[in-house]
Amino acid sequence: MSSELRVENLRKTFSVGAKPAVDDVTFTIAAGEIVVLLGPSGCGKTTTLRCVAGLEHPTSGKIAIGGTVYTDPQAGVLVPPRNRNLGMVFQSYAVWPHMTVRQNVAYPLKARGIGGAALDKGVKEALELVELASYADRPVTQLSGGQMQRVALARSMVYQPQILLLDEPLSNLDAQLRLRLRDDLRRIIKRVGLTALYVTHDQTEAVVLGDRIGVMRDGKLLQLDTPSEIYNRPADLFVAGFTGATNVVDGKVVSRDGDFGAIEVASGERLIARMSTDLPIGAAARVALRPDNVGLAADGDGFAGRIESRHYQGTQTVYRLAVLGTTIEALEVGSAARYAEGSTVAVAIPPDVCWAYPIP
């Protein structure tokens, strides 16, 4: 039965005086919800997951599952991993090579003293869920990487854990297998109704799998929200950049009107952008926007731009543009590149898809 996970003011340092690997992280995952922790290597996402698992001992903070506190260093509470009833899927497949598929999945049930018809039923249902029922008697060494990861997933769910923890489980798979299993993972987890905490550095994985995404950097949780909010209302410049807003244009705030404002850029032109609350008139600002949100037209309204280069990629084309006194990229979907290098274009930048922040 799935349970709520509550993490409060979690902090983890690995040595005295060192910078925290996890720095005052707080979040709650509702029963049956999938939350993805997203961020670059070293941001603290895996350390957070390992603290939930009991594999790392936090310096301070609380972790409660289903209302029961499992970690609270100040109160002397640190329940070992084996007593937390958690499922975990690792980056490596971590299957036992000397066992068959069935034996791998049955092992957690046997370790809990479950046998006979209950064991057979549990293993059968778990293997059907991950579409490996016909492979039950096959040695795991004869499976593909994607199939071995499905075995690991079935093994982690067969005993009905309170929480399912997944630590970059797709990173060792080739591109095609990764795409297929990524799409299947959410379906499988939702079908069982498990609460899941998933760790990845891949933005697309996070969006496909998560009900909510938490973006981390330097041990801090910067924003936790739905995929739509993360992508359309990034909390700061790092969240915007990490989720694809790779174009930046610097300027100065010259006016504000509620959530939007005008920013004068190097060319003297003015961009209208959504503004963070700490950007007064006169402040230096950095505008972030995604290449796929930059519109191009042969003529019409927009900023005057020039195609400096283009990179045809089959199903899309990336253009490098001289515009607004700087250089940005625009991404156009389609199998035909419409604009030649050196051509002039009208560049449309809708205010709702660009965000202005203080320059760090």
pLDDT tens string 34-67: 999 999 999 999 999 999 999 999 999 999 999 9
Cβ-contact 288, 251 below 8 angstroms: no
CA 53 to each of CA 5, 39, 69, 325: distance values in angstroms, whole numbers, following the listed order: 11, 19, 13, 51
pTM of the model: 0.90
Q: Quick one: which of 314, 185, 303, 295 has its CA closest to 251?
A: 303
pLDDT attached to residue 145: 86
pLDDT tens-digit readout, 77-121: 999 999 999 999 988 878 899 999 999 999 999 999 999 999 999
Average pLDDT estimate for 260-283: 94
Helix (H, G, I), strand (E, B) or coil at 192: helix
pLDDT surpassing 90 at residue 300: no
pLDDT at 20: 95
Work out the percent of the chain whose per-residue pLDDT is above 70.
Answer: 100
Are the C-beta atoms of residues 50 and 3 closer than 8 Å to each other?
A: no
For the chain, the structural domain boundaries read 5-237, 245-358
Q: Which listed CATH number (3.90.1280.20, 3.40.50.300, 3.20.190.10, 3.30.70.260) goes with 5-237? A: 3.40.50.300
Q: What is the pLDDT of residues 203-220, one digit of tens each?
A: 999 999 999 999 999 999
Average pLDDT over residues 237-249: 94
pLDDT of residue 299: 85
Confidence of residue 18 (pLDDT cuts 50, 70, 90): confident
Report pLDDT for 2: 84
Is pLDDT larger for residue 181 or for residue 79? 79
Please write the tens of the pLDDT for every residue from 305-321: 999 999 999 999 999 99
**Exposed e or buried b per residue across 153-167, where buried means at least 16 C-beta atoms within 10 angstroms of its C-beta:** bbbbbbbebbbbbbb
Supply the pLDDT for residue 358.
94
CATH number of 245-358: 2.40.50.140
Confidence of residue 178 (pLDDT cuts 50, 70, 90): confident
